[in-house]
Amino acid sequence: METEKLAELRLPNFWAAQNTKSRTQPVISLQFHPRDIGTLLVGYPEGAAVFSFKQNKALHLFHYHVPRGAPGGDGKTGAMSVDRNPKLIHSTWHPTGQFVLTSHEDGSMVIWDTKTGRKILARTLTDTNVDKEGAGATTFGNAGAGDQRSPIAKIAWCANQDPDDTAILVAGGTSSLLPMKGLTLMELGRSPNYATSSWPIIESHFAEPKKQRVLPTPPQVEVVDFCLIPRKSPWFAGAHDPIAVVAILSSGEITTLSFPSGYPIAPNNQLPISMSFLHPFATLLSHCAVDRTRWLGMSENRQAGPKLLNGGSEPLPSLRHHEQRNVILSAHADGTVRLWDAGVDDEIENTKVSQADVSRAVGRLDNVRITHMSLASTSGELAVGTASGELVVFRWARNNNPGREGPAADVNMPGRLTNVTSRVDPSLIEGFQPFTLVNRQNGPCTALCVSDVGFVAAGFEGGAIVIIDLRGPAIIFDSTTQELLSQADRRRSGPGKSPYATAIQFSVMTLDGESYSSILLHVGTNSGHVITIKILPAQGGRYTVTPAGSTTCAGTVKLIHPQHANSLTAAHARPQAVAGLRDGFKVDGVLIVVTENEARIFRPTSAKGAHKTFDNALCHSAAVVKYQERGLALLGLFGDGTAKAFSVPGLREITSLRIDGMLDVKRFQDAVVTERGDIIGWTGPSEIAQINIWGLPPSRSVFLGITSFLQRSSFNTLFDNSHSFATTRN
Amino acid sequence: MTHLLRAKQSGIQGDFSESLNSTLFAPTLLNHFGVNSQLTRIAYDPVQSLLAVGTRSSQFGNGRVYVFGGGRIQLNFDLPRKNAGVKWMSFCADRLVVLDDKGDLIIFALVERRMQSTYSPPGSVLSVACDPTLDFVLLGLQNGMNRNTSVLCIKLTLDPR
pLDDT, tens digit (0-9, with 9 covering 90-100), for A584-599: 889 999 999 999 999 9
CA distance from start to end of chain A: 31
Which residues are within 8 A (CB) of A293 and not within 5 positions of it... i.e. 6 or more apart?
none
Average the pLDDT over B126-151 and give the result: 76
Amino acid at A116: T
Predicted pLDDT at B143: 67
Pick from A314, A683, A684: CB nearest B73:
A314
Nearest to residue A331, comparing CAs of A285, A364, A291, A299? A285
Q: Could you tell me which chain A residue has the CA closest to the CA of B45?
A: A234
Whether A319 maps to a domain, the answer reads: no
Q: Domain boundary residue among A219, A235, A270?
A: A219
Predicted pLDDT at A8: 58
Q: Could you tell me which chain A residue has the CA closest to the CA of B94?
A: A710
Q: Domain boundary residue among A170, A192, A219?
A: A219
Q: ∠ CA A289-A293-A299 to the nearest 5 degrees?
A: 90
Average the pLDDT over B127-137 and give the result: 87
Q: Is B152 an interface residue toward A (CB < 8 Å)?
A: yes
Whether A477 maps to a domain, the answer reads: no
Q: Is A93 an interface residue toward B (CB < 8 Å)?
A: no
Which residues are within 8 A (CB) of A547 and not within 5 positions of it... i.e. 6 or more apart?
A479, A484, A531, A532, A533, A534
Whether B127 contacts A30, CB under 8 Å = yes
Q: How far is B101 from chain A (nearest CA, A)?
A: 14
Q: How far is A315 from chain B (nearest CA, A)?
A: 9
The pLDDT tens digits of the residues spanning A336-391 come to: 999 999 987 777 889 899 999 999 999 888 889 999 999 999 888 999 999 999 99
Based on the fold, state whether residues A51 and A114 are members of the same structural domain.
yes
Least confident of A194-198, A209-213, A603-607, A622-626: A603-607
Measured CA to CA, the distance from residue A86 to residue A667 in angstroms comes to 48
Would you mind telling me the total number of residues written for chain B in this entry?
161
Predicted pLDDT at A13: 73
Please tell me whether the overall predicted TM-score, pTM, comes out greater than 0.95 for this model: no
Pick from A252, A590, A643: CB nearest B11:
A590
Measured CA to CA, the distance from residue A675 to residue A694 in angstroms comes to 12
Pick from B26, B27, B75: CB nearest A662:
B27
Predicted pLDDT at A138: 45
Q: Domain boundary residue among A219, A238, A269?
A: A219
Based on the fold, state whether residues A585 and A670 are members of the same structural domain.
no
Based on the fold, state whether residues A194 and A76 are members of the same structural domain.
yes
Based on the fold, state whether residues A549 and A665 are members of the same structural domain.
no
Q: Name chain B contacts of A593, Cβ cutoff 8 Å.
A: none
Nearest to residue A502, comparing CAs of A469, A537, A548, A465? A465
Q: Could you tell me which chain A residue has the CA closest to the CA of B18?
A: A631
Measured CA to CA, the distance from residue A273 to residue B129 in angstroms comes to 31
> Collapsing DSSP states into helix, strand and coil, what is residue A145?
coil
Based on the fold, state whether residues A504 and A632 are members of the same structural domain.
no
Based on the fold, state whether residues A600 and A621 are members of the same structural domain.
no
The pLDDT tens digits of the residues spanning A478-499 come to: 999 988 886 656 555 555 578 9
Range of the domain at A649: 615-694
Predicted pLDDT at A727: 33
Q: How far is A269 from chain B (nearest CA, A)?
A: 8
Reply yes or no on domain B33-155 having CATH 2.130.10.10: yes
Average the pLDDT over A514-537 and give the result: 93
Based on the fold, state whether residues A555 and A682 are members of the same structural domain.
no
Q: Name chain A contacts of B20, Cβ cutoff 8 Å.
A: 627, 630-631, 633, 645, 647, 654
Q: How many A/B residue pairs have CB atoms within 8 Å?
A: 388
Measured CA to CA, the distance from residue A267 to residue A281 in angstroms comes to 12
Based on the fold, state whether residues A503 and A593 are members of the same structural domain.
yes
Based on the fold, state whether residues A645 and A608 are members of the same structural domain.
no
Amino acid at A687: E
Average the pLDDT over A177-193 and give the result: 88
Predicted pLDDT at B150: 67
Predicted pLDDT at A703: 36
Q: Is the pLDDT of residue A333 over 70?
A: yes
Based on the fold, state whether residues A518 and A632 are members of the same structural domain.
no
Per the structure, the count of domains in chain A is 3
Q: Could you tell me which chain A residue has the CA closest to the CA of B132?
A: A234
Measured CA to CA, the distance from residue B27 to residue B22 in angstroms comes to 11
Complex ipTM > 0.95: no
The pair phi, psi for residue A74, each rounded to 5°, is -95, -10
Mean pLDDT of chain B: 85
Q: Is B94 an interface residue toward A (CB < 8 Å)?
A: yes
Q: Is B87 an interface residue toward A (CB < 8 Å)?
A: no
Q: Name chain B contacts of A687, Cβ cutoff 8 Å.
A: 32-36, 60-61
Pick from A13, A238, A702: CB nearest B147:
A13
Based on the fold, state whether residues A576 and A672 are members of the same structural domain.
no
Predicted pLDDT at A730: 30
More confident residue, A488 or B65: B65
Which residues are within 8 A (CB) of B19 and not within 5 positions of it... i.e. 6 or more apart?
A627, A630, A631
Cis bond before residue B122 (omega within 30° of 0): no
Whether A241 maps to a domain, the answer reads: no
Q: Is B127 an interface residue toward A (CB < 8 Å)?
A: yes
A202: enclosing H helix or E strand: helix A199-207
Cα separation values, A287 from A187, A274, A678, Å: 46, 17, 10
Measured CA to CA, the distance from residue A460 to residue A480 in angstroms comes to 9
Question: CA A223 from chain center: how many Å?
Answer: 17
Whether A470 maps to a domain, the answer reads: no
Q: Is A54 an interface residue toward B (CB < 8 Å)?
A: no
Whether A646 contacts A619, CB under 8 Å = no
Predicted pLDDT at A331: 96
Q: Could you tell me which chain B residue has the CA closest to the CA of A700?
A: B30
Whether A130 contacts A149, CB under 8 Å = no
Based on the fold, state whether residues A178 and A49 are members of the same structural domain.
yes
Whether A392 maps to a domain, the answer reads: no
Which residues are within 8 A (CB) of A598 and not within 5 positions of it... i.e. 6 or more apart?
A553, A554, A555, A611, A612, A613, A614
Percent of chain A with pLDDT over 70: 88
